[in-house]
Chains A and B, each alone.
Chain A
Amino acid sequence: MTTSRIRNNIRTLRFHHGEMTQQQLAEKVGVTRQTIIAMEQDKYSPSLELAFRIAQVFKVPLEEVFSYQPEEPST
């Protein structure tokens, strides 16, 4: 499976925001539910604009939603 190096806490944040459903979040940020699912499974890295919209929905800074995992240096 191809995974992105960008990790996110969307699932946790949804849980802490009244168990918001994927569909509700999708509607708030203007994407399909499939895109939210793909992001939660680290199968899709959103655009910067979408990342900001998600952070805005949860009222947290961007870095609390997304983090970057640098590539492990080969030994």
Chain B
Amino acid sequence: MSFQEKNIVATLTNFSIILAFYLFRIFQMVQTDTFTSTNLFRLWGIVALLAVIGTIVVTIFTHIVGGIVHKVKTNEDPDIKDIQDERDQMIELKGTKLAYTFSSIGVALAMLTFVLGQSALVMFALIIFFGVLANIVADLWRLNLYRKGF
């Protein structure tokens, strides 16, 4: 598994945990009748922070661990410039394109629930749900491209 694949797996794990946490908190709020705008927007803040900080931490951690493993295996210093080449950039772009498409569809679906009579809170809850899910789908697609080619 290449460095990029390891990084994707790490990010995928991070976003899966965030999604699980988000769904758990939403269901908890619904069950305890605390599904209010204040609680929902606080949860938005937590999810956004976890996504940003988690991604940074996971990337740094993968770099460090990857570098140590490379040094132990080959007894050579890892070459940072070789970490991402044109194929990696192409795969990243394809993943990003899919993430944008998926999240756009998600936002449209969320707005549709509002049009069909659901509360605005449901729409906002769905928007962030699809946002996080889009990242997971994009990472899975990137992994697929690494494995099967394109």
Q: Name the A residues within 8 Å of B88 (CB-CB).
A: 32, 35
The digit string for A5-47, where 1 denotes a CB below 8 A from any CB of B, is 0000000000000000000001100111011001001111011
Taking CB atoms and an 8 Å cut-off, the chain B residues in 87-114 that contact chain A are 87-88
* B24 close to chain A: CB less than 8 A: no
Q: Taking the nearest CB of chain A, how far is it from the CB of B11, in angstroms?
A: 18
Q: State the main secondary structure of chain B at its contact with A.
A: helix
Q: How far is the CA of A30 from the CA of B2 in the complex (A)?
A: 16
Q: A38-B87, A44-B87 are in contact. Are A32 and B149 (CB under 8 A)?
A: no
- Measured CB to CB, the closest approach of chain A to B35, in angstroms, equals 44
Q: Is A50 an interface residue (CB 8 A)?
A: yes
A1:B148 contact, CB within 8 angstroms: yes
Given the known inter-chain contacts A32-B2, A34-B2, please indicate yes or no for A47 contacting B86, CB distance below 8 A.
Answer: yes
Chain B interface residue number, banded: 10 to 19
* Residues on B with beta carbons closer than 8 Å to the beta carbon of A42: 149
A21 to chain B: closest CB distance in Å? 13
CB-defined A-B contacts under 8 Å, sample of 23: A2-B148, A2-B150, A4-B149, A26-B82, A27-B82, A30-B82, A30-B85, A31-B85, A31-B86, A32-B83, A32-B87, A32-B88, A34-B2, A34-B87, A35-B86, A38-B87, A41-B149, A42-B149, A43-B148, A43-B149, A44-B87, A44-B150, A50-B86
13 new A-B contacts, CB < 8 A, other than A31-B86, A32-B82, are A2-B148, A2-B149, A3-B149, A27-B82, A30-B82, A32-B83, A34-B2, A34-B4, A38-B87, A38-B149, A43-B150, A44-B87, A46-B87
